[in-house]
Structure 1
């Protein structure tokens, strides 16, 4: 699956609140929703929604931004602007928690995943470094056993004809949730690349020096041997959302954006 066109203008925008750099106020921001074209999708799957870093609060309901995104996308489908929800899969690249009184922190994001999963064909993705999934391994096990929920952390699954893989978290000290030592991340990513998935979901993005896009050099290096791969990532913001690392690897950065990939 290859992205062939990304428009300059979004089809829809969502206003939300985010904590400012000071602890005494919040600021309003806008989340854009784009429709991008891909060359092909498996039969029965008419679109994929890809997003990450929905670290905001809806100003009226005071709910996590991800809940509002799921609602708004369902409304766009009802208006005929995107395909029917039962033919759309959702890919989440992490960091779906936010609070308005301070930036950062970690929190439970299971309700956001469930909101997408209730409305769409499936919900697949990885954890970001600000995400939690309950308070115990039992909570996580119960969550990942829900029909339609597909959580990735080094594994590969075939979902509706697409081979999808992912790595949760970022490279860093293991004293905080969803951090991996560099050598462990490298080994996991190398193993995934050898298995040739169609889509790889990462929270942390590769660096792209030629385009002056921030990210991790280790990830870029490991992806240099991949082929026929679409990488979905976030964590850092890129001015341009998509790059090609080489002729057969595309990277779509969905940090604080929503992309609807349609054939």
Structure 2
């Protein structure tokens, strides 16, 4: 049996912005789960070579272990990962207006649930 040779191009990060485009505020349980801490999820723009032609933008994120903050500084039941798509959509419209939403590949890499009562708690990440 012959193996077919498929040319695969590797992804290559060319540049990473020094400053984030946005910092998404959220809260999470502090170490020891004795209090909450206010955090910020930075969103950086990078230039990557080697994406398939079908993909105009790649979004990669992980460790979204927190609750989204509302404009008034309060938090509720919304995971930070549930709020993130609207923020990223706005950033795409501003910084990459020619990108078609159907040509954005999103990779969610683990730890998508957060709870302000207990650090490292388990819960349903499906809303993210």
- TM-score band by shorter chain is 0.7 to 0.9
- Partner of 1:10, secondary structure, is coil
1:16 corresponds to 2:32: no
- Partner of 2:82, secondary structure, is helix
Tell me what 2:87 maps to: 72
1:50 corresponds to 2:70: no
1:87 corresponds to 2:103: yes
Tell me how large the CA RMSD over aligned residues is.
Answer: 1.5
- Partner of 1:8, secondary structure, is coil
Q: Following superposition, which runs of at least 4 residues in structure 1 exceed 6 angstroms of deviation?
A: none
The count of residues paired between Structure 1 and Structure 2 equals 111
Cα distance between partner residues in 1 of 2:33 and 2:100: 41
Cα distance between partner residues in 2 of 1:38 and 1:27: 33
Cα distance between partner residues in 1 of 2:55 and 2:103: 5
- Segments of structure 2 that go 5 or more residues without pairing to the other structure are 1-10
1:106 corresponds to 2:116: no
Shift, 1:78, TM fit: 2.9
Q: After TM superposition, list the pairs within 5 Å mapping 1:207-246 onto structure 2.
A: none
CA contact (8 A) 1:78 1:84 kept: no
- Partner of 1:9, secondary structure, is coil
Task: Select the residue among 31, 35, 43 that pairs with 1:33.
Answer: 43
Q: After TM superposition, list the pairs within 5 Å mapping 1:109-258 onto structure 2.
A: 109-112=125-128
CA contact (8 A) 1:20 1:103 kept: yes
Cα deviation digits, residues 87-118 of structure 1 (max 9, x gap) = 11101110000100111121111111xxxxxx
CA contact (8 A) 1:77 1:84 kept: no
Shift, 1:22, TM fit: 4.3
Cα distance between partner residues in 2 of 1:24 and 1:41: 44
Shift, 1:5, TM fit: 1.4
Cα distance between partner residues in 2 of 1:84 and 1:73: 13
Shift, 1:21, TM fit: 2.3
